[in-house]
Amino acid sequence: MNSAALAPLLVTMGDPSGIGPELVARAHLVGDLQDAVVVGDPAVFQRGLRACGVAAADVPPGPRFVGSNPASGVDWAALPWGRVDARCGAEAARCLQAAVELARSGQGRAIVTAPIHKEALAAAGLTYPGHTEMLQAWANPEEPPPVRMMLANDELRVVLVTIHQSLRTAIEALNFERVLQTIAITHQALQAWGLTQPRIAVAGLNPHAGEGGLFGREEIDFIAPAIEAARAQGIEASGPHAPDTVFMRARHTPQRTGAFDAVVAMTHDHGLIPVKYLGLDQGVNITLGLPFVRTSPDHGTAFDIAGKGLADDRSFRAALATARRLTLQPGISVGFH
């Protein structure tokens, strides 16, 4: 085991007005942060404890904090819950950037992030639409790596070609190179997780995968050629498959083994609706292509229940468990294997 594997998990609390601080507090209260440090202000963590109905005096020893910013000038105890606030967006981004710097310097073996709010980021003047884009930019400012978002649970793994942009601009952004690169990144990740020859299904964009051009030409013009190029590189990719049925075919259950190890989907909602429909409690978001492991729960800040002690921490703790598996058990897979 190398020194990076011995380094702690780096946990960020996300937007202070969302459920992130509560998720981190709950994980600590059940002893699930023993190999982790929290990157952020301890006062934000105290918000999470109060949401759990726990006084600081009743908290087990720890957690450890790094990159705290008590000089931010914000009275976190007085901040309302469940509201878009530029200060919260700035704090979430500041802590994430500190975590990336720690990971890059070998002081953390993985980053596990609680949810952020995209409107709060924008209010703080940040031009990044989400975690994935910030991680990509800060992981290597000189040459940002190509990254992709995967959502995985016990039944499905889905990787997205496009993510946080309007549907219209996402369709315009699709091309041969992006589809081929997504297939290759998916293949490399699955091989690193122990699958020698992963089976990758590529979903089409249009109904019935275009029906031979009747419902759109994207499948003919660049999706199918990208699949063929991937196959020429030795990747077991297939498609384009009809997007309304491929996820059923790929789904792994105790009763049947799925036909594929992962599905590549063209747009955000095409890919994430089927994964999230199966349940948010065990879903994990994994950023592929970074020089370090990054995981997160597969849900947002839940402003409607923030501060009420109602947050379900199962997806967040699944993100912690996935980060441990990927960094401490080389060759282990994620999801249903």
Shared domain for 236 and 110, answered yes or no, is: no
Shared domain for 297 and 266, answered yes or no, is: no
Question: Which range, of 63-67, 120-124, 135-139, 182-186, averages the lowest pLDDT?
Answer: 63-67
State the pLDDT at residue 280: 66
Shared domain for 119 and 236, answered yes or no, is: no
Distance, in Å, from the CA atom of 263 to the CA atom of 48, rounded to the nearest integer, reads 36
Shared domain for 170 and 316, answered yes or no, is: no
Q: What's the pTM?
A: 0.90
Shared domain for 7 and 123, answered yes or no, is: yes
Q: Cβ-count burial of 87 within 10 angstroms (0-12 exposed, 13-18 middle, 19+ buried)?
A: middle
| Cα angle value 101/188/195 (rounded, 5°) | 120
Shared domain for 188 and 81, answered yes or no, is: no
Domain count, the chain: 2
pLDDT band at 335 (very low <50, low <70, confident <90, very high): low
Q: Any idea what the CATH number is for the domain that residue 273 is in? A: 3.40.718.10
- Closest alpha carbon to 324 in 3, 33, 29: 33
Q: At which of 260, 278, 296 does a domain end?
A: 278
- Closest alpha carbon to 261 in 331, 205, 196: 196
Q: Cβ-count burial of 331 within 10 angstroms (0-12 exposed, 13-18 middle, 19+ buried)?
A: exposed
Question: Which range, of 51-60, 83-92, 235-244, 317-326, averages the lowest pLDDT?
Answer: 51-60
Q: How many CB atoms lie under 10 A from the CB of residue 273?
A: 12
Structure token pair of residue 150 = 């995967």
Shared domain for 320 and 245, answered yes or no, is: no
Shared domain for 129 and 206, answered yes or no, is: no
Shared domain for 143 and 286, answered yes or no, is: yes
Shared domain for 117 and 166, answered yes or no, is: no
- Closest alpha carbon to 117 in 16, 194, 25, 34: 16
How large is the average pLDDT for residues 271-294? 89
State the pLDDT at residue 67: 72
Q: What's the 3-state SS for the chain?
A: CCHHHHCCEEEECCCCCCCHHHHHHHHHHCCCCCCEEEECCHHHHHHHHHHCCCCHHHCCCCCEEECCCHHHCCCHHHCCCCCCCHHHHHHHHHHHHHHHHHHHCCCCCEEEECCCCHHHHHHCCCCCCCHHHHHHHHHCCCCCCCCEEEEECCCCEEEECCCCCCHHHHHHHCCHHHHHHHHHHHHHHHHHCCCCCCEEEEECCCHHHHHHHCCCCHHHHHHHHHHHHHHHCCCEEEEEECCCCHHHHHCCCCCCCCCCCEEEECCHHHHHHHHHHCCCCCCEEEEECCCCEEEEECCCCCCCCCCCCCCCCHHHHHHHHHHHHHHHCCCCCCCCC
Q: At which of 262, 278, 294 does a domain end?
A: 278
Average pLDDT, the chain: 91
pLDDT band at 164 (very low <50, low <70, confident <90, very high): confident
* Domain region containing 24: 1-147+282-337
* Cβ neighbours of residue 50 closer than 8 Å, sequence gap 6 or more: 77, 307
State the pLDDT at residue 95: 94
pLDDT band at 263 (very low <50, low <70, confident <90, very high): very high
How large is the average pLDDT for residues 159-166? 93
